[in-house]
């Protein structure tokens, strides 16, 4: 159970609600939006929702494993964003658009 400086405990389920809400915003964003940048933002939102979960649980269990995990997740999210932006750049040079539903040369 984490406490704020005033000593009021924050129940662990509050973290869960926040992270579930953020995760759903991200997931819905990926499934409905068609601009590659918005989809990348949504992806970051999903990863960071997980980070809130991990930090909340880390406080709840009184061990540091969750917070260690967050450091790895953040590094990986950064790497993923870098690769995503690189792919977006290469794509824009060829197609002059970032709307992913216009990439449909392969079908069947």
Partner 1 sequence: MKASDIIAVLPELVLLVAALAILMVEPFLKPRLQKDEGGAVCGELAPDRTAILAIALTGFAASVAVALFVSGDTRTVFSGMLALDYWSVFFKVLFGITGFITMLISSNYLESHKRHMGEFYALVIFAVIGLDLMAGARDFILFYVAFELMSISSYLLAAYFRYRTKSNESSVKYFLTGSFASAIMLYGISLVYGETGVTNYHGVAVAIANRGGSAAVLFSVVLIGIGLAFKVSAAPFHMWTPDVYQGAPTPVTAFFSTGPKTGAFAVFIAAFVMAFPGAAHNWGIFFIVLSVVTMVVGNLFGLVQTNIKRMLAYSSIAHAGYLLAGLGAMGWTADTYPAGMGVLVYLTAYTFMNLGAFGVLAYLKAQSPDKFDFSLKHFAGLARRSPWAAILLSLFLLSLTGIPGTAGFIGKFYVFGGIVKADLIWLAVLGVVLSAVSAYYYLRVVIYMFFKEPEEELTFKAPISGGMAAALALTAAATVLIGIIPSQLWDAVVRAFGSLTQ
Q: Is 22 in the site for partner 1 (CB under 8 A)?
A: no
Q: Is 38 in the site for partner 1 (CB under 8 A)?
A: no
Decide whether 3 or 65 has the Cβ nearer to partner 1.
65
Q: How far apart (Å, rounded) are the C-alpha atoms in residues 29 and 104?
A: 20
Residue 21 touches partner 1, criterion: CB under 8 A? no
Of residues 71, 60, 48, 66, the one with CA closest to residue 14 = 60
Place of tokens 């662990």: 12
Give the torsion sign (CA, 13, 73, 44, 34): negative
The C-alpha angle with vertex 96 and arms to 91 and 38, in degrees rounded to 5, equals 65
**Candidate residues 3, 32, 35, 63; the one interacting with partner 1 per rule CB under 8 A:** 63
The Cα 78–Cα 92 span in angstroms is: 21
| Binding of partner 1 by 84 (CB under 8 A) | yes
DSSP conformation class of 1: -
Closer CB to partner 1, 7 or 11, in the complex:
11
Q: Tell me which residues touch partner 1 (CB under 8 A).
A: 12, 16, 19, 23, 26-27, 30, 36, 39, 43, 46-47, 49-50, 53-54, 56-57, 60-61, 63, 65-66, 68-69, 72-73, 76, 79-80, 83-84, 86-88, 90-91, 94-95, 100, 103, 105-106, 108
């Amino acid at each position: 159970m984490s406490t704020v400086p005033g000593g009021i405990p924050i129940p662990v389920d509050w973290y869960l609600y926040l992270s579930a809400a953020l995760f759903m915003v991200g997931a819905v964003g990926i499934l409905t939006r068609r601009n590659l940048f918005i989809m990348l933002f949504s992806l970051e939102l999903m990863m960071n929702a997980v980070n809130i979960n991990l930090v909340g649980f880390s406080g709840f269990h009184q061990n540091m494993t969750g917070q260690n995990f967050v450091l790895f997740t953040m590094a990986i999210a950064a790497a993923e964003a870098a690769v995503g932006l690189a792919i977006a750049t290469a794509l824009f040079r060829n197609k002059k658009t970032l709307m992913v539903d216009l990439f449909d040369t392969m079908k069947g």
